[in-house]
Amino acid sequence: MEEQLREMLVAYGRRLVESGLVQGTWGNISVRLDERYMLTTPSGLDYMRLTPGDMVKVEISTLEYEGAIRPTSEKGLHAAIYQGRSDVGAVIHTHAKYCSVFAAARKDMPVLEDFRSIFGDVIRLAPYALAGSKALMKNTAAALGDNFGAIMASHGMVACGRDLEEAFENCVRMEENGRRQLL
């Protein structure tokens, strides 16, 4: 199962690039391996060149990781979501264009009727905190609550789901909601 999840992280990383939801190496993906571990994308490596062996196994409670490849600097953000939400099996963080407009404006994102069954009436804004910080972890997990997406002030967005497919679709839905709100 672990090898299959590593392959899926590679595939969804490429899908994020191909769909324009990430630029360069910005953003990160994780999947819950079990109650103790998650697999994350590595720090600073090109999504189009990643291999299953580049994915990093991280202990959710301690953030300790296996191997020489460093995990994403946002590993704590992913871990905080998994610790607070047993229903979440995958997390995606991006700086997608339209969601980032709401992040830069430091505004909650109103939700269109089409997406309310997933996100409710509003996708909440997490107060600003430095990237990779404990404050960012806490603020984002709190803004997420029991929703499947949150905007991170002056930073980007996070989407989650029961699995990678659902997390990716929720990421796409959030960006589409933002696009339609702004246009």
Q: Which helix (H) or strand (E) holds 159?
A: strand 156-161
pTM, to two decimals: 0.96
Q: How far apart are CA 81 and CA 125, in angstroms?
A: 15
The pLDDT tens digits for 105-124 are: 999 999 999 999 999 999 99
The pLDDT tens digits for 18-49 are: 999 997 778 999 999 999 999 999 998 889 99
| Residue tagged active-site, from 74, 165, 169, 176 | 74
| 74 included as an active-site residue | yes
